[in-house]
Amino acid sequence: MTIIPAIDIIDGKCVRLTKGDYTRLTQYNEDPLEVALQFEDAGLRRLHLVDLDGARAGEVKNWKVLEKIAARTRLITDFSGGISSEKNAEICFNSGAAYAAVGSIAVKDEEELIRWLLRFGPDKFIIGADVRFEKIVIRGWTESTSLTVFDLIGRYLTKGVKQYFCTDVEKDGLLQGTAIELYKKIMNRHPMADLIASGGITEIRELDELRQAGCTGAIIGKAIYENKILLSDLKRFL
């Protein structure tokens, strides 16, 4: 299982939100590159980079941060937040992202996303499935839908997309544990998906549980910044 540390960005700085609430923000570092270099020095190979300004605005904003991290590290970076047009996706890839992580567009405009898949390749995309009570939420978790996470993943598996990260927004940023039962359900229904767990991971033992459930990756954010999980603790997963 691949460990993927997260860096969330507002105004070019490394922050974390609680349950996606922009009013419940904690700033951890002025320089996201410095944080990314710490992750690389610890032996981690992947990075989940979230443009929170972009998510709120509906278009990519912090691509310069991505560009700097891509130029100064060898981390395999996925970038998300505000990728709402083909031009945004192009900016993402030109700035050094290995993958574009998309959510709202996958729900709102399947036809448009299919055009991107045909142009860039389905292997360049990760579908971000943000859920509340198994239903997809979009636009920075502000809009609920009737679409289930199971149906969303099933829809895009048929289009060739293999990677999905799933965040239970009721658990994100609370440090109260991850949605292990939800991930088990998803893997039971879609065993061919590369499922990346995200949100609420607090203890090392949860990573073992996620691996046993069939998750191929785990995104960890606040637990690292709050020293609940030390980078040295992650060495056995590398």
Residue 17 has pLDDT above 80, yes or no: no
pLDDT of residue 29: 79
Find the catalytic residue in 8, 51, 53, 168: 8
Per-residue model confidence as pLDDT tens digits over 74-123: 999 999 998 999 999 999 999 999 999 998 899 999 999 999 999 999 99
Find the catalytic residue in 51, 53, 78, 130: 130
Residue 19 has pLDDT above 70, yes or no: no
Residue 170 has pLDDT above 90, yes or no: no
Per-residue model confidence as pLDDT tens digits over 23-66: 776 888 789 999 999 999 999 999 999 999 998 888 999 999 99
pLDDT of residue 28: 86
pLDDT of residue 68: 97
Query: What own/partner pairs with CB < 8 Å and gap ≥ 24 does 224-233 have?
Result: 224/5, 225/16, 225/26, 225/28, 226/175, 228/175, 228/202, 228/203, 229/201, 229/202, 229/203, 229/204, 231/38, 231/39, 231/42, 231/44, 232/42, 233/204
Q: How far is CA 150 from CA 106, 126, 166, 178, 186, in A?
A: 14, 15, 11, 18, 6
Task: Judge whether 130 counts as a catalytic residue.
Answer: yes
Burial of 152 (0-12, 13-18, 19+ CB in 10 A): buried
Please state, rounded to an integer, the average pLDDT across all residues of the chain.
92
Would you list the domain boundaries of the chain? 2-237
Share of the chain above pLDDT 90, in %: 75
Sequence-distant (6+) residues with CB within 8 A of 80 are: 48, 49, 50, 51, 55, 100, 101, 102, 103, 126, 128
Q: How far is CA 6 from CA 30, 91, 121, 146, 237, in A?
A: 15, 20, 24, 28, 16
The pTM assigned to this predicted structure is 0.92
Quick one: 2-237 is in which CATH superfamily? Answer: Aldolase class I (3.20.20.70)
CA quadruple 225, 230, 4, 93: dihedral, nearest 10: 60
pLDDT of residue 174: 59
Residue 21 has pLDDT above 80, yes or no: no
- Helix 32-41 crosses helix 63-72 at what angle (to 10 degrees)? 30
